[in-house]
Structure 1
Amino acid sequence: MGDPRVKDVDGFTKISHSSVPSTLNPANVTLPKGLTVAIIGASTGIGEHIAYAYAYAGASRIIISSRTLSDLLVVEKQLKQINTQLDVDVVECDVSKASSVEAFAQHVRASCGRLDVLVLNAGYAGPVTVKMDEGQPEWVQKAFDINAMGTYHAAHYFVPLLLETVEGLRSFIVVGSIAGCIRRGIIANTGYTVSKMAQIRLVEYLAEQYSDKGLFSVAIHPGAVKTRMAEGNTPEAFIPYLTDDVDLCGAVCVWLTANFKNTQWLSGRLISATWDLDELLSKKDQVIEKDLLKFALLTE
């Protein structure tokens, strides 16, 4: 039996999208002049296509990173083909290591002098284990090192740079997952789901701690996407449900950036790239009044 809480999140808007609607096409978006974006975990899949979305939308500079440089060089070439005016930096970064994230932040500060948007896409699922006596403890440890501590490392070293950027957009965007809400079912992978819950909670903490300084923090569920990581760590029975396009999340990231002034009320919340964004905007008063799209302990 699936988890009803996940169904409620999936259906938060009556209309949903599996591919990028024409209204969200990044090529039709105009971003602020001089916009600088750093993306952690940009070598393949969702992170790669987030970079492409910002390139199509006219970002001035994109800094891409991952644990290995080889795939990033392919992404760099594609980015420059999409936008010949784009400046691209390629930096090696292992988000699970504080020293590596610190070095990446120092590079951005020294080379770019500003940062408007940080997108954290790096993640780890690992083999699915739905019982705590299954699998290996190191699988769970790695999930927490990358998904939870990686988010903390990125916040620790990049939030100061975002806040220091004069007239910057001060946006901290995390590619989270509705998996953080899952408690049961064939994809209730203990290490992944609980570490993703911690990640989403950290995003909420960022809003509590830094919203008064202008920081915008949000977690985005990218949809059910058939990425390399998903294919390698998803039960065979669930593979047919991985039907959302890999570029959907990037389009939503760009939409958030382009609509920065009108989306501050989403700070500290989890949203889904599959939701209809016009319908989401129409729910603004309801979301604010009931403080929705956050974790809470049920008392009734």
Structure 2
Amino acid sequence: MSGDPRVLAVDQFVQTRHQYPPAYLDPASVRLPASFTVCIIGASTGIGEHIAYAYARAGAARIILSSRTIGDLQVVAEAVEKINPAIQVDVVECDVSHAAAVEALASYVTSKCGRLDVLVLNAGYAGPVTLKMDQGNPDWVQRAFDVNALGTYLAAHYFVPLLLASPNGAKGFIAVGSVAGCLRRGPIANTGYTVSKMAQIRLVECLHEQFADEGLVSIALHPGAVKTRMAEGNTPEVFLPYLTDDVALCGAVCVWLTKQLQDIMWLSGRLICATWDMEELMAKKDKIIDGDLLKFALVTE
């Protein structure tokens, strides 16, 4: 994916990688529980939009769609209802970087839905690529941390209590992260984005440490290199040909993980990639546990 050896090592962690959802990840082959409720923050376009479609195909009972832009959400809501006419769809505006907005969204879900099985946090901000700290605008870096890092904290702060309190809930917190959090060099090593994404991934690890004993499964999921609206607007021309992964892949993996969350607690607190073959990843369970892999660590020897 880049010249950074750490990212190359992540990319090659499993032998088989996918650009499109393989047949066994087809969300339509999954049947979620009758009361299953999912909230997707950052659902207005691209990856978040297709995460919503995946849960609709899997038979979710209710989907709460949220983002900063209500207009786009209405279009997604209509598409979700066409996929699954029995589904209940809620559209709620929320800027994940503002505590009051996230608190209001959590209060809405609590009062209107009464439960939440999975929160998928897809909201993100990249900003124009600047490769050195004396370049660009500090406001771009501030926004990256506000959305990617603080937004993850706020989502956890306000939604984890509801996830844990939902009767027979799946108790899943999935943050759409990025292996860019491992980047230090190369043409897309955008300082604000990469470091804020590293912070996001570490927050997911902390969530596991703090709430795993209560049944919460927290996963950071890299969606692949996808040509989304945000990526096209912020990716250097030289890297655009590498944005070849399907926009629906991440949603298919989200649903697949959701169906078996309580059987994959050993993946909690880790960063995984939607492009990896999930069956090969499952086969690495003992290696991952024994080495405490797929986490950030300070190398001392």
Alignment TM-score > 0.5, same fold: yes
- Looking at structure 2, the residues matched to 260 and 241 of structure 1 have their Cα atoms a distance apart, in angstroms, of 31
Say if 1:26 and 1:53, in contact at 8 Å, map to a contact too.
yes
Say if 1:122 and 1:146, in contact at 8 Å, map to a contact too.
yes
Q: Which amino acid aligns with 2:202?
A: R
Deviation at 1:262, TM superposition (A): 2.2
Say if 2:66 and 2:92, in contact at 8 Å, map to a contact too.
yes
TM-score, structure 2 normalization = 0.99
Say if 1:43 and 1:72, in contact at 8 Å, map to a contact too.
yes
Q: Which amino acid aligns with 1:205?
A: C
- Looking at structure 1, the residues matched to 298 and 187 of structure 2 have their Cα atoms a distance apart, in angstroms, of 24
RMSD: 0.7
Q: Which residue of 1 aligns with 2:182?
A: 181
Deviation at 1:261, TM superposition (A): 2.9
Q: Which residue of 2 aligns with 1:165?
A: 166
Deviation at 1:123, TM superposition (A): 0.2
- Looking at structure 2, the residues matched to 148 and 63 of structure 1 have their Cα atoms a distance apart, in angstroms, of 22
Say if 1:51 and 1:250, in contact at 8 Å, map to a contact too.
yes
Deviation at 1:79, TM superposition (A): 0.4
Deviation at 1:299, TM superposition (A): 1.1
| Count of aligned residue pairs for this structure pair | 300
Find out whether 1:243 has 2:244 as its counterpart: yes
Deviating above 2 A after TM superposition, structure 1's stretches of 4 or more consecutive aligned residues are: none
Q: Percent identity?
A: 69
Q: Which residue of 2 aligns with 1:274?
A: 275
Deviation at 1:30, TM superposition (A): 1.2
Deviation at 1:36, TM superposition (A): 0.2
Worse overlay, 119-128 or 23-32? 23-32
Q: Which amino acid aligns with 1:257?
A: T
- Looking at structure 2, the residues matched to 65 and 235 of structure 1 have their Cα atoms a distance apart, in angstroms, of 29
5+ residue gaps, structure 2? none
Q: Which residue of 2 aligns with 1:126?
A: 127
Say if 1:32 and 1:258, in contact at 8 Å, map to a contact too.
no
Q: Which residue of 1 aligns with 2:14?
A: 13
Q: Which amino acid aligns with 2:114?
A: G
5+ residue gaps, structure 1? none
Aligned partner of residue 20 in structure 1, secondary structure: coil
Alignment of 1:2-81 (within 5 A): 2-81=3-82
- Looking at structure 1, the residues matched to 31 and 12 of structure 2 have their Cα atoms a distance apart, in angstroms, of 30
TM-score, structure 1 normalization = 0.99
Say if 1:169 and 1:260, in contact at 8 Å, map to a contact too.
yes
Say if 2:215 and 2:262, in contact at 8 Å, map to a contact too.
no
